[in-house]
C-alpha cells in the first residue's frame, strides 16, 4: 500500500522508524488482524506494553504478517509492579513468551515510580539483558530529566528513547530539547491528544486545507518535523492508513510557528513525579 517510513538514528547505533503504530487500544482478539494491516500500510514500529494486556495478539500479528520479522521494530514496556533486578528480568521473559518472540527491539520502563525507587536497578538489569541479546535497544517512558540524569550518573548508560506525552497543547519543548542534546529520541504518546478540540481549531484546519490533508495528519507532521516520533493509535483502518500518510507534504516554517502558538499547557496524563502505574 505505502512505502515504509524513514528512520532516525539512535544513540546505540540502531535506528528507529519516524512513526509508530500504537496498540494501546487493541485486544488479543483484534490485534492479529490490525497489526498486519498497519504493517501493510508501511508502519515498521509497533508499540505495546505489558499493562496493555495484548502482547499475545500483537505477537501473533507480527508472526502472521507478510513482513519479515527483521524489518519490524517491536516495543514493549516494563510495568510498575515489576520494577526491580530480578522482577524486571522475569517480566521480560513473560513478555517474550506472550509475544512469541526471541527478542524485543525496544524495551522501555513505562513510568519511573520515584516513590518506589527501583528504576535504577531495573535499568541495570535491562542493560544486562540488552548485552545478552534479549533486547536490541533500551529506553524509558514518562521520565523527567532528573530521572535520566540519575540513570546516566549511576550506570553510565543513557536511554536510546524517552516516550512522553506530547501533543499540540502540551509540546514539552524544553524536555524535547534536553533529550535531543543527549542524543535521546523523543517519542510522543497521545500525539493527537485523543483528537481533542485543538484539531478543530482554525489554525490546524486552515493548514490542513492548504495541503489537502486532515487535521490529524497536520499534527503528526508537526511531530515529525520537530524530530519527534509520534505513536498514534487507532482501531479504524481508514485512520490507521491516514495517520501513516504524512510523508508526502511538508509544513513551512510559518506553519510550524503557528502550530507552536497552540501550547496551552494542558496535559492528559499523570505527573512522572507522582504517577504510579502498577
Q: Which residues are catalytic?
A: 52
Q: How far apart are CA 55 and CA 45, in angstroms?
A: 15
Q: Which residues neighbour 117 within 8 Å (Cβ) at sequence distance 6 or greater?
A: none
Per-position DSSP letters for 149-210, written without gaps between them = HHHHHHHS---SEEEEE-BTTB--HHHHHHHHHTTPEEEEESTTGGG-GGGGSHHHHHHHHH
Torsion sign over Cα 115, 121, 126, 129: negative
- Residue 89 vs residues 93, 128, 143, 157, 192: alpha-carbon distances, Å: 6, 9, 20, 18, 33
Nearest residue to 119 (alpha-carbon basis) of 135, 143, 103, 96:
143
122 near 113, Cβ under 8 Å?
Answer: no
Which residues contact residue 130 at a Cβ distance below 8 angstroms, ignoring those fewer than 6 apart? Answer: 107, 136, 137, 138
Dist CA 92 CA 103 (whole Å): 9
Residue 267 CA to chain centroid, in angstroms?
Answer: 17
What are the φ and ψ backbone dihedral angles of 237, each rounded to 5 degrees? -60, -40
The number of residues in the chain equals 278
Amino acid at each position: 500500500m505505502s512505502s515504509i517510513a524513514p528512520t532516525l538514528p539512535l544513540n546505540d547505533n540502531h535506528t528507529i522508524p519516524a512513526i509508530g503504530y500504537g496498540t494501546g487500544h487493541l485486544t488479543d482478539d483484534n490485534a492479529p488482524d490490525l497489526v498486519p494491516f498497519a504493517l501493510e500500510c508501511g508502519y515498521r514500529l509497533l508499540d505495546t506494553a505489558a499493562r496493555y494486556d495484548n502482547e499475545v495478539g500483537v505477537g501473533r500479528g507480527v508472526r502472521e504478517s507478510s513482513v519479515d520479522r527483521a524489518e519490524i521494530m517491536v516495543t514493549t514496556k516494563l510495568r510498575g509492579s515489576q520494577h526491580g533486578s530480578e522482577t524486571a528480568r522475569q517480566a521480560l521473559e513473560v513478555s517474550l513468551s506472550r509475544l512469541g518472540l526471541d527478542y524485543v527491539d525496544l524495551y522501555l520502563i513505562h513510568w519511573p515510580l520515584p516513590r518506589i525507587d527501583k528504576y535504577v536497578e531495573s535499568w541495570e538489569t535491562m542493560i544486562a539483558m540488552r548485552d545478552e541479546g534479549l533486547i536490541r535497544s533500551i529506553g524509558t517512558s514518562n521520565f523527567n530529566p532528573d530521572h535520566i540524569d540519575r540513570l546516566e550518573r549511576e550506570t553510565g548508560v543513557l536511554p536510546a528513547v524517552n516516550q512522553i506525552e506530547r501533543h499540540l497543547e502540551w509540546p514539552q519543548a524544553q524536555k524535547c530539547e534536553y533529550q535531543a542534546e543527549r542524543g535521546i529520541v523523543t517519542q510522543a504518546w497521545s500525539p493527537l491528544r485523543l483528537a481533542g478540540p485543538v484539531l478543530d481549531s482554525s489554525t490546524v484546519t486552515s493548514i490542513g486545507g492548504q495541503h489537502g490533508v486532515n487535521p490529524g495528519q497536520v499534527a503528526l507532521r508537526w511531530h515529525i518535523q520537530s524530530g519527534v516520533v509520534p505513536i498514534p493509535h487507532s482501531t479504524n483502518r481508514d485512520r490507521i492508513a491516514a495517520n501513516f500518510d504524512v510523508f508526502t507534504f511538508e509544513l513551512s516554517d510559518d506553519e510550524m510557528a503557528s502550530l507552536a502558538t497552540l501550547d496551552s499547557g494542558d496535559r492528559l496524563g499523570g505527573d512522572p513525579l507522582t504517577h504510579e502505574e502498577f
